[in-house]
Amino acid sequence: MLTTYIAADLRYLLKFQHGLYAVHDKVKVNVEGRWEEGEIITEMGGQYQVALAGNRAAWAAPEHLRLVGAQQKPAAPVSGQPPQSGMVSCAGKVEGRYSSSQVGAFTIVFRQGKAQVKMYGEGDEELECWMNGHKMILRKPGAPNEDMPIEINDDGTLDTPMGEVRRKSSS
């Protein structure tokens, strides 16, 4: 009986361990024994990528992170509304399949203002695509803090949190 309670408590704790931090949270991360301030820029598989000073980034497990100051949760994104003023749908502006030869399992297919994202063998995830100039944001409606920022390079490649991706032929 005691084992049942311990297993239930462990499942409860593990459920809340994933998703403990959100994209754009200001945190301190333990990097090689030193605590450095940064901002979470992406989350994958229970690990968090943190942007650090000096154009550096580090991946860390939740136990190596600490929130900095009080955090206010933004309202959940609303479907069909741009994430920032001045942004417009990507429909007709960015279309086709983009992937990376370095991270072959990362692919984005843009079609009619939507982006199908496939990472590391996981199922496709449909996101809304918004842009303003050379900046793009992929947004999952109803999922706060899960925006994927993308920079559009002059040569047409895209800089994503998973690295640079190029447009592939439609063959």
Helix H, strand E, coil C: the string for 70-89 is CCCCCCCCCCCCCCCCCCEE
Reduced to 3 states (helix: H, G, I; strand: E, B; else coil), residue 168 is coil
Please report the pLDDT score of residue 36 as a whole number. 92
Please report the pLDDT score of residue 21 as a whole number. 82
For 2-67, CATH gives 2.30.30.140
Please report the pLDDT score of residue 104 as a whole number. 54
Burial class (CB in 10 A: 0-12, 13-18, 19+), 136: buried
Is 88-167 a CATH 2.40.128.50 domain? yes
- The list of the chain residues with pLDDT below 50 reads 1-18, 171
For the chain, the domains span 2-67, 88-167
pLDDT per position as a tens digit, 92-142: 888 998 888 765 567 889 999 898 888 776 667 888 999 999 999 888 877
Please report the pLDDT score of residue 73 as a whole number. 59
- The residues near 101 (Cβ < 8 Å, ≥ 6 apart) are 166
**40: number of CA atoms within 13 Å, CB side?**
28
Q: DSSP alpha helices (H): ranges in the chain?
A: 2-17
